Each structure stands twice: as structure tokens, then as C-alpha cells.
Structure 1
């Protein structure tokens, strides 16, 4: 089953390191599609048009994903920038992430091994300092049931991280909820058992984010 909740960058973050007089400016942001990642990369290139290189990597999806990834050495020797940057974010705890490392050459060549270490360090430094939030795939769930079940259902819902959106009292009770997708199947089973099948359940999925404590 696909991972439905995982850490992502909470906001755009930037830091800078210096290696043998070369400046490495790392900018990190959360992106949930490849197009969003490429748009962000383009913005950074426009912000630093005089940079020697704007190398980048992105990973869309849960931490460690390989399905939707991208990278670029942007003129650096092949494999010394984009690949170590991507490897670093793939081994982090973060998903839905794009990283751009902007380099201003300082006059001293680093060699291929030195550049790999520098770009890796630039990304690691940013990842160690940025603030995270948690991405959750939410499910909207509607419940219709008889009044006799209200107390029992209201005691059950908090066990599944349910957020109450709307409550209506008519011939039957109507509740509009949202909850993490990973909890939905178990909750529906519990509700069906609790009411002996005398409940109508309608679900719909969407995504949202909540800050980590």
C-alpha cells in the first residue's frame, strides 16, 4: 500500500556553505508534482542568473520514492552534483521535495570527489536545519444513521483522528467528517459492526497538510 502520510518541508528554506572559496547556496521547497518542481527550479535560475551553476534534484511522493524524480548537473561534470543531491534527499525522511544548489565558483577547483562532497554537504546542511510538516492524504466521509447509535459513534470517532466538518439532525443523523486515509477502512468496519450494518457510508479522498508538534 502506498504511504499516505509523511514529512515534507514546511516552507521554503535557504542556507549557504563555503568550500574552498566557492559559495554553495541551497534552496529547498515542497513540491507535489514534477511541473511544480520545474517551475521552482526556473524561479531560482532567474533569481541567480549570474551563478556558475544551478544544480538541482527533486523527488515527488513519499520518502525514498523512485517513480517521479529528476536531477541536473547544470554544466558541472557529469554525476558530481545532481546525483549526490538526489541520493541525499532519497535517504532523508522527506517526501515531495525539490532542492536547488546554486554555486558561485571561488577560483579553486575541487576535483570530482570534492564536488560530490560539497554538493552532498550543501543539501545535508539544509535538510538538518529546515522545518518539517506532515502531509496526510485525507478522506472525506459522510455518515447517515439512526439516533440510537449517536452516542456510541461519537465515542468511537476520536480513536481514528476524525475531524468533524458538519452535523445535521433530521429523520436520521448526518455527519460529514474527514480522517487520514490510512484509518478509513478500519473505521468503516467498526461503524458497520457497531450499527449491525444500519449505516450509510460515503467516502471521497483529498490531500491536506498538518503541522507536526
Structure 2
């Protein structure tokens, strides 16, 4: 058992420092809370590398196992979020390199088609036509993101999807800030071009007024006209 009081977390918020110490001491609730706090960001970053939902979940589990095994040696030189993100990215990149080696050995291997990143949508009571339109649009964005070259994709996910600052993204990916800005600009340009080529068919279904909403308005008018049977 490490000397918990010696873990250098003085500069951390008290709540986070306490959480880390409790996790190091083997408290399952503390470990569970750390995972839940960071799950979405780490998943999206890992998913940006491996571009496959099943692989992303496997990589994320592996990354957490590595992180908790090393947590007692965490020096606090970066935030816990940045530290975990680096472990997750390194684990994902190792998985990707392994997949590329396997693909060279077995060129006929059929890779699973990448699925979409689960973005939060409206509640289950929302109009189904609108939910479908949202899903179509999000799917196009996800496809366009997946199609980016890896260097641009990582920057785009970190900056746009996760909302990290230029400085945070630069620290996470070990890049100069100027490089982050350049790659983000090029990523946005590539995504914009891809979406402009594909968005037309989706826009045909924009502002849907069918299904539940259509039925509700129709019946309201019928009622006001005194035509209901």
C-alpha cells in the first residue's frame, strides 16, 4: 500500500485529490466515479483512432486497467484527465499498429464496418421523424470525421467534439499550438467539403412535419371544424 499522503496532489482540487487517493487505496466507488467522469471523453478520443465501436470499448477497458495499475505513481504533473487521455491514446495507437500488422499478414481479412459514435439525441418521446433526421445528419458528420486523416481527426475530435482548448489539445497530442490550429483548419475544410457533397439528400427531409405531429394538427383542425365522428 503506497503512502497516500505522499501522492503529490496538493495543487489539485480537494475533491479530485480525495478521489484519487481513495482509488489508490482500493475504494471501488472512487474508481467507478473516476471512470464515469472520464468515460465519454476517453471513448471519443480512442474511437477517433480505431474508428470502430467494439475496438474502442476494448481499448478503453485496457487503458483503464493500465491507468489504475499505475495510479499510485501518478505525479500530478498534468491533470488527471490529461494523464488518462494520454494513456488511452497510446493504447489506441498500439492497437491500431497491431491491426495494421495483422492486415499486412492477412490482406484478405474483412474488417468490421465502423459504426457511428453514439451522440445524445432527444428523449424517447420526441417526434420519430425528427429523431430520424437528426440521426441521419449525425451519421454524416460521424462518417466525415472518420474519413479524416488520423492527424487531423485527433485534433478535430479533441478541439470540436470534446471542446478542449488549443493549449489543452497541444499538450494532449504533444504538438505545437500552431500545428493544432493548422490541422483543425484543414480538418474543418475537409469535413465541410464532404458534407456539402452529401447533405443534399438529407436536407430533403429537413423540418419534418409528419407522423405524430401531422396527425395531431390534422385532428385538431378536424375538431375545430366540427367534423369529428
TM-score by length of 2: 0.25
More strand by share: 1
User: Higher relative CO (CA 8 A, sep ≥ 6), structure 1 or 2?
Assistant: 1
More helix by share: 2
TM-score by length of 1: 0.27
